[in-house]
C-alpha cells in the first residue's frame, strides 16, 4: 500500500516564522514519521516575498516544496531560481509568467492556485485552472494530489473543495495567516480553510500593528510594514495520513513559543 504522511505549513512570516520552522520541523518529522512537507513561504523574507538565502534555509530545514501567492515575486531575485528549486507560484498566473504552479515528485503532485476576492492581481480563473490541472495530473496516474488554495475568501476555498473532494487528497487554504478550526475529511479528501501563519502571534497577521493601523485610520502610512519581532510566536502544521491517495486521518499541531497547545483533530465526515 502507498502510505504517506504529509506535513502542511501555512504562510511563514519573516525571520520569526523561519526560526519557528527551523526549531520545530525536524523533531516533528521524526516524531510523526512525516515523508513530505509543503509550506507557503510568500512572506518568509522580511514579510514580503522570498529571497534565495531564505528559500535554501527553509528547504534545508526539512521542507520539500514551497508554495506562494500574491507575494511570490516581491523579492525579484527569486525569479532566476524558480525553475531550479522546488518553489511554486500560483498556477493561474497568466501564460508567460516565470515559474511553475505544479510540482510532481514520485506519486505526489502539489498544485498552487490563487483566488480572486480581495487580491489585486489579474490571474486566470482559479476554478477552471484547478479543474484542468487535476485532470492532467490524474492522466499521469498520480494518486496523491495536494492543493494550496491561496485566497482571502473562505467561500472561494469551500467552492474549490466542493468541486474537488473525492478526486484529491487534500486542499488547504493559505493567505489569511489566521488558522481556522474547520479541519475535516470528506470523501477521503482533507480540507481546512486556512492553516494560519508561522510567525509572530501578537500583531496583525505577523506584522507590527502600528503601520497598518495608521493606514487604516488615516488613509496613508507614515512607515513601512514591519515583521513583529518581540512577543509570542506560533508554529502550526497539519499532518495528514494518506493511503493510496486517500486522506484517512489528520490533525493540526500548534506550538506557541515552546508550549504545545491542544491539537485540532480533523472531523471525519
Ligand atoms: Fe501570506
Ligand atoms: Fe497572500
- Determine which one of 71, 150, 175, 177 is catalytic: 71
Quick one: pLDDT at residue 182?
98
SS3 248: strand
Range of the domain at 8: 3-268
**Number of helical (H) and strand (E) elements in the chain, helices listed first:** 5, 15
Question: What is the number of the ligand closest to the CA of 41?
Answer: 1
209, three cell numbers: 500593528
Query: Mean pLDDT, consecutive 10-residue segments, the chain of 269 residues?
Result: 95 98 98 98 98 98 98 97 97 97 97 98 98 97 98 98 98 98 98 98 96 92 88 98 98 98 97
Instruction: State the Cα–Cα distance between residues 216 and 8, nearest whole angstrom.
Output: 32
Question: What is the number of the ligand closest to the CA of 198?
Answer: 1
Task: Please tell me the distance between residue 41's alpha carbon and the centre of ligand 1 in angstroms.
Answer: 8
Quick one: pLDDT at residue 228?
97
Task: Please tell me the distance between residue 233's alpha carbon and the centre of ligand 1 in angstroms.
Answer: 16
Task: Please tell me the distance between residue 2's alpha carbon and the centre of ligand 2 in angstroms.
Answer: 33
Task: Please tell me the distance between residue 225's alpha carbon and the centre of ligand 1 in angstroms.
Answer: 13
Task: Please tell me the distance between residue 13's alpha carbon and the centre of ligand 1 in angstroms.
Answer: 7
Tell which residue, 158, 82, 167, has the closest CA to residue 133. 167
Quick one: pLDDT at residue 93?
98
pLDDT in tens, 57-107: 999 999 999 999 999 999 999 999 999 999 999 999 999 999 999 999 999
Domain total in the chain: 1
Q: Is 71 a catalytic residue?
A: yes
Across the chain, what does the average pLDDT equal?
97
pLDDT in tens, 129-140: 999 999 999 999
Question: What is the number of the ligand closest to the CA of 10?
Answer: 1
SS3 156: helix
Question: What is the number of the ligand closest to the CA of 118?
Answer: 2
Quick one: pLDDT at residue 19?
98
For the CA atoms of 176, 179, 180, 185, the dihedral, rounded to the nearest 10 degrees, stands at 110
Task: Please tell me the distance between residue 3's alpha carbon and the centre of ligand 1 in angstroms.
Answer: 30
Instruction: State the Cα–Cα distance between residues 25 and 19, nearest whole angstrom.
Output: 10
CATH number at residue 203: 3.60.21.10
Beta-carbon contacts of 80 under 8 Å, excluding residues fewer than 6 positions away, are none
Amino acid at each position: 500500500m502507498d502510505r504517506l504522511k504529509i506535513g502542511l505549513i501555512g504562510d511563514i512570516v519573516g525571520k520569526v516564522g523561519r526560526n519557528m520552522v527551523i526549531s520545530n520541523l525536524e523533531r516533528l518529522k521524526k516524531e510523526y514519521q512525516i515523508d513530505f512537507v509543503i509550506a507557503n513561504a510568500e512572506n518568509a523574507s522580511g514579510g514580503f516575498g522570498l529571497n534565495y538565502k531564505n528559500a535554501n534555509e527553509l528547504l534545508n530545514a526539512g521542507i520539500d516544496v514551497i508554495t506562494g501567492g500574491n507575494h511570490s515575486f516581491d523579492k525579484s531575485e527569486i525569479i532566476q531560481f524558480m525553475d531550479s528549486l522546488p518553489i511554486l507560484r500560483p498556477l493561474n498566473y497568466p501564460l508567460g509568467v516565470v515559474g511553475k504552479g505544479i510540482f510532481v515528485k514520485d506519486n505526489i503532485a502539489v498544485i498552487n492556485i490563487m483566488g480572486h476576492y480581495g487580491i489585486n492581481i489579474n490571474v486566470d480563473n482559479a476554478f477552471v485552472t484547478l479543474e484542468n490541472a487535476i485532470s492532467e495530473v490524474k492522466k499521469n496516474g498520480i494518486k496523491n494530489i495536494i492543493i494550496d488554495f491561496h485566497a482571502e475568501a473562505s467561500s472561494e476555498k469551500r467552492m474549490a473543495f466542493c468541486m474537488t473532494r473525492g478526486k484529491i487528497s487534500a486542499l488547504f487554504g493559505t493567505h489569511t495567516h489566521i488558522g481556522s478550526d474547520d479541519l475535516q475529511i470528506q470523501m477521503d479528501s482533507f480540507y481546512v480553510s486556512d492553516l494560519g501563519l508561522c510567525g509572530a502571534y501578537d500583531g496583525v497577521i505577523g506584522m507590527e500593528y502600528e503601520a497598518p493601523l495608521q493606514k487604516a485610520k488615516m488613509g496613508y502610512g507614515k512607515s513601512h510594514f514591519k515583521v513583529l519581532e518581540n512577543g509570542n510566536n506560533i508554529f502550526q502544521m497539519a499532518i495528514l495520513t494518506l493511503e493510496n491517495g486517500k486522506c484517512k486521518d489528520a490533525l493540526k499541531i500548534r506550538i506557541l513559543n515552546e508550549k504545545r497547545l491542544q491539537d485540532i483533530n480533523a472531523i471525519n465526515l
